[in-house]
Amino acid sequence: MVLALCWTSVVPTGSVSAQQAYQVELDAERVVRFTSRAAIEEFDGVTNRIDGFVAINTATLTAETGGDDTEFFFEVDLASIDTGIGLRNRHMQKNYLEVEDYPYAAFGGRIARAAPLSNGVFRVTVQGTLGIHGVERERSVTCDLSPIGDGYRVQCAFQVLLTDHEIEVPKVMFLKLNNEIQLELDFRIEPAEDTK
Amino acid sequence: MKSHILSALLAAMLLVGASGTVGAQQRPERFQRREQQTEAEMAVFHSPQAANLPTAETLKKGEWLFEISHRFFPPVSDGADALWGFDGPVTNRLGLAYAASDRVMLGVLRSNRSDNVELNVRARLFEGGSEAVPVMIGLMGGLAWNTQAPTGAGADENESQQYAQLMFNALLGDRLALGLVPSLLRNPTIVDASSETVFALGMHAQLYVSEMVSFLSEWIISEDRGTDQRHDSGSFGIEFETGGHFFKVMLTNQQLMNPTQFLGGTDAEFTPDEWRIGFNITRLLAF
């Protein structure tokens, strides 16, 4: 099924090309949350500092293919992550994420496909390079995009293995982390300024 | 010929290294950062206290710090008969502090020696310096009452004591933290009738050898006022840090722990014969 019609409904008319760019809406609520479930304790870290863009080629995006000319890039400011305990934040930033050398986590690539769900929601699969702690991995991630205003609410959930990014798994008390970290993202994208 | 083999080996090692760790991801040209990068939090000393002296470090707003500390009376030199001091008795101190903001902490301390009860406030005034030498400056002050003085008199028959301290902290080479703590103490001797204000200079250093382990030392220069305040106070030991706990074990010639008590000096000389074992345990609580 070709989704062009659905996407076109939110694209301003008169565009020269079919590509529409969206950017993270900084004024809306943004949540990036990681959760670690270790044997004794579970804790999470939260930040709102995510920014990035997605460029969609509305003419060729389908449930089977992302089509041509699509691109996305998002990054998260790691020194802003708050685990609720100041000392733990500092340990995490300095000894594990090493934010002075690797201040951002970034994910960039292209859209693989976009399948329509009910109520105008799309399940979008993206493929790209996830860079954390200076180590990059090819990843495929699925996000739900719900229309809101002239943009979308983006919700994603996926897992990251610390060892995949050469992050030492902390073993000291009070910072017991599972190697498998759950990541949840929830933010809005709006038409990019240059295409508004 | 050997140099060629060496070059080839080096090149191979570089290639292996490069394939193991890929460089930081490139940002696409069309992405422009719109928000300023968050600065990583700086630290000089990790803990809010050395053996006895305060550091300029403060907790995050809303966090609590609970402390229990002991100094064992018998010196280590008493040997196995006194279990190297662990048989006790002990000077005990309990403490609770609350971070009213990211920069201000309010605390209460209670020591069983003279039943000294103290209310204090600490502020982190400045952090900066260079990347190579981060610097932090703090201010601390407190008011203490000896509710059961050595003479047996209660707080109403004693003068209260006050103190104020500046904490100058600097970090060298990312591992060696240094502290200078000039201090003013009002009424160092509670058993005499006169009031006086004295100066003491605290110095301390801490070498962080790993994420968990550091070695600490401390020296407090105080005026010789005779009897039980004749000598300077020295301490040295090891600290274990676990993100929420600080556990310090030390040897010291100072058996007192509350600031209005230890700033006055100690009766024991800093010689191995007089060293006592002590520990401080603090636990960070966040609700």
In chain A, at which residue ranges do the beta strands (DSSP E only) sit?
19-24, 31-37, 42-47, 50-57, 71-77, 104-116, 122-132, 135-148, 151-161, 180-191
Q: Which of residues 4-33 of A touch B (CB under 8 A)?
A: 21, 26
Across the interface, whether the CB atoms of B242 and A175 are under 8 A apart is answered: yes
Let me know if B287 is exposed, middle or buried by CB neighbors in 10 A (0-12, 13-18, 19+).
Answer: exposed
More confident residue, B76 or B5: B76
User: What does the alpha-carbon distance between residue A14 and residue B186 come to, in Å, rounded to a whole number?
Assistant: 80
Cβ of A87 and B22 within 8 Å?
no
**3-class state of residue B239 by DSSP:** strand
Q: What is the pLDDT of residue B2?
A: 47
Q: Give the whole-angstrom CA distance, residue B167 versus residue B136.
A: 8
Cα distance from B42 to chain A (closest Cα, Å)? 8
Identify from B27, B31, B210 which residue to disrupt to test chain A contact, counting A C-beta atoms within 10 A and taking the largest count. Answer: B31
* Three-state DSSP class for residue B11: helix
- Residue-by-residue pLDDT tens, chain A, 196 positions: 334 434 444 443 333 446 789 999 999 999 999 998 876 677 789 999 999 999 887 677 777 777 767 899 999 999 999 988 888 888 888 888 899 899 999 999 999 888 888 888 989 999 999 999 999 999 999 999 999 999 999 999 999 999 999 988 766 655 667 888 999 999 999 998 764 4
Has residue B150 got a pLDDT over 50? yes
Both tokens of B109, joined, read: 């301390």
The highest-confidence range among B7-21, B144-158, B255-269, by mean pLDDT, is B255-269
Contacts of A163 in chain B (CB under 8 A): none
Coil, helix or strand for A50? strand
pTM of full prediction above 0.90: no
A residues 47-66 lying closer than 8 A (beta carbon) to B = 49, 51-53, 55
The residue count for chain B: 287
pLDDT at B281 over 90: yes
Query: Phi and psi of A133, rounded to 5°?
Result: 60, 30
8 A C-beta contact, residue B63 and residue B284: yes
**If you measure CA to CA, which chain A residue comes closest to B36?**
A77
Inform me whether the C-beta atom of residue A172 falls under 8 Å from chain B C-beta atoms: yes
ipTM rounded to 2 decimals: 0.76
pLDDT the model gives residue A15: 37
> Residue A12 has what DSSP assignment?
P
* Residue B56 to residue B52: CA distance in whole angstroms: 13
Residues near B173 by beta carbon (within 8 Å), at least 6 away in sequence: none
Q: Cα–Cα distance between B266 and B256 in angstroms, integer?
A: 8
Question: Residue range B127-154: average pLDDT?
Answer: 86
Locus of tokens 């659905």? A6
**What are the beta bridge partners of residue B104?**
B123
For residues B257 and B52, is the Cβ–Cβ distance under 8 A?
yes
Which pLDDT belongs to residue A175? 60
The stretch B82-86 carries a mean pLDDT of: 93
Nearest CB among B21, B102, B284 relative to A87 is that of B284
Per-residue pLDDT, B5:
52
* Interface contact A106-B27, CB threshold 8 A: yes
Distances (CA, A) of B69 to A156, B93, B122, B254: 48, 5, 19, 13
* pLDDT value at B41 more than 90: no
pLDDT for position A172:
61
Alpha-carbon distance values, B113 to A118, B162, B227, B258 (Å):
72, 17, 17, 9
B210 or A32, which is more confident: A32
Measured CA to CA, the distance from residue B182 to residue B199 in angstroms comes to 7
pLDDT band at B158; cut points 50, 70, 90: low
Phi and psi torsions of B4, nearest 5°: -65, -45
Q: Chain B residues within 8 A (CB-CB) of chain A? A: 21-25, 27-28, 30-31, 33-35, 37-41, 43, 46, 59-60, 63, 102, 211-212, 242-245, 284, 286
Percent of chain B with pLDDT over 70: 87
Q: What is the DSSP string of B25-91?
A: PPPPTT----SPPPPPPP-SSSSSBSSSSB-S----TT-EEEEEEEEESS-GGGGGGGGGGTT--EE
Parallel, antiparallel, or unpaired for β A31-37 and B134-146? unpaired
Q: What is the pLDDT of residue B261?
A: 92
SS3 A5: helix
Contact B243 A173 (CB under 8 A): yes
Q: How confident is the model at residue B26 (pLDDT cuts 50, 70, 90)?
A: confident
Of chain B, the percentage scoring pLDDT greater than 90 comes to 66
Query: H or E element: which one contains B172?
Result: strand B161-172
CA–CA separation, A21 and B202 (whole Å) = 61
What is the C-alpha to C-alpha distance for residues B132 and B122, in angstroms, rounded to an integer? 26
Question: A87 and B37: CB-CB below 8 Å?
Answer: no
**What is the pLDDT confidence band of residue B210, given thresholds at 50, 70 and 90?**
confident
User: CA B239 → CA A89, A110, B65, B245, distances in Å?
Assistant: 20, 50, 17, 10
- DSSP-derived 3-state class of residue B145: strand
Q: Name the token pair of B50.
A: 């050395």
**Gyration radius from chain B CA atoms:** 24
pLDDT over 50 at B58, yes or no: yes
* Among A80-89, A145-154, B12-21, B151-160, the range of highest mean pLDDT: A145-154
Sort out which chain B residues have CB atoms less than 8 A from A135's CB and list them. Answer: 21-22
